[in-house]
Structure 1
């Protein structure tokens, strides 16, 4: 399978690369190659590589900075994945979106769907507040 790992330079991205390379064709990119908040860049990435599946390991993870720079946090952690999902839909690709317990509490089994019930969210952070508005 042709996989595209977004955020490949981070710890999670590197772990995915190491684990998946023996069985799959793995393409990697990070913020230096594509800004996932930029629709034309994301579209170009998909047009060039046409992955069968995308693993999004990219995230704005500095919790304190997310509290003070809420706009950038939302761009990277919500708008970017939305752009990736739209391109996956266009190219009939699958997407794996990685989250943390700062968003979901991990107590619900199965596939995450939107909208989630309020009890499924961790009790704190800006992202939680934003998701509850939807």
Structure 2
């Protein structure tokens, strides 16, 4: 199995590099080696490497920065996805594309299904929605995995940021009225590897997230409890009290029933959380 992995240095990319079987031939491409916004670069790399599968984990993920870098966010999340999908289709290559819960507006009272209308509230969500559309229009056999609140011991993410603040005795205020399901990046990596290996999933959209629903404050509080020696105080505040460039959905829980019907279970929060915390504690010693 030959696999082209874009976004290889992100937290999902790093997780995939840990879990992809050693007998697979993997080309881990970062943005320097493979600029997915450059169509000729995309075509050249794909034609040269000739992968069986492309995992597109590359994305512009800074939600607030996207509000002022609109063009760049669209280039990476929309055009990049489009170029990858076109090249994969033209060369008969399977494609797994990763997307986000932020394509929804957060006004639902129930977990979002794959059939629910996408109405993003911010530039990041809009650019990822455009990317989804481009992938589906240009590669009918592609699989898109929407996930949410991704965390791990790798890269930049909420858990690592809060852990370091608490470890340094910083008091923090965290939004308590935005609800989601944190998802462990290595579990997404394992899912993608299993999807490729099993080859039983039908093309289309699928949701995959953690098995526990909570607020950002709840998440931060769990992190604080894991740091035994700290004088930090974690305070819950409303979204209206928190200043940010981008508006976030108040509710972005994903319904994962469609994927679970194929035998794939949701990310186990307790296990993933403990593994992340243990790795960060070991790292800080």
Scaled to the shorter chain, the TM-score interval is 0.7 to 0.9
Q: Within 2, Cα distance between the matches of 1:43 and 1:12?
A: 23
Matched residue, 1:60? 60
Q: Within 1, Cα distance between the matches of 2:82 and 2:45?
A: 15
Matched, 1:45 2:45: yes
Matched residue, 2:4? 4
Q: Within 2, Cα distance between the matches of 1:123 and 1:81?
A: 18
The C-alpha deviation readout for 1:50-82, integer Å capped at 9, x for no partner, is: 111100111001111111111111000000010
Q: Within 1, Cα distance between the matches of 2:21 and 2:27?
A: 9
Matched residue, 1:107? 112
Matched residue, 1:112? none
| Equivalence map 1:73-84=2 (5 Å) | 73-84=73-84
Query: Of 103, 124, 127, which residue of structure 1 is paired with 2:121?
Result: 124
The C-alpha deviation readout for 1:74-113, integer Å capped at 9, x for no partner, is: 000000010000110111001111011112577225xxxx
Name the Cα RMSD after superposition: 2.3
| Equivalence map 1:8-27=2 (5 Å) | 8-27=8-27
Identify if the C-alpha distance between structure 1 residues 10 and 129 changes in structure 2 by more than 3 Å, giving closer, same or farther.
closer
Contact 1:8 1:17 in 2 (8 A): yes
User: Residue 59 of structure 2: SS of its match in structure 1?
Assistant: coil
Identify if the C-alpha distance between structure 1 residues 3 and 80 changes in structure 2 by more than 3 Å, giving closer, same or farther.
same
Q: Within 2, Cα distance between the matches of 1:77 and 1:95?
A: 15
Contact 1:7 1:31 in 2 (8 A): yes
Q: Within 2, Cα distance between the matches of 1:49 and 1:89?
A: 15
TM-score (norm. length: structure 1): 0.82
Q: Within 2, Cα distance between the matches of 1:123 and 1:33?
A: 31
Q: Within 1, Cα distance between the matches of 2:18 and 2:37?
A: 26
User: Residue 102 of structure 2: SS of its match in structure 1?
Assistant: coil
Contact 2:103 2:126 in 1 (8 A): no
Structure 1 segments unaligned to the other structure (5+ residues): 110-116
Q: CA deviation at 1:21?
A: 3.0
Q: CA deviation at 1:11?
A: 0.8
Structure 2 segments unaligned to the other structure (5+ residues): 134-285
In our comparison, the structure showing a higher alpha carbon Rg is 2
Q: Within 2, Cα distance between the matches of 1:12 and 1:18?
A: 10
Contact 2:63 2:124 in 1 (8 A): no
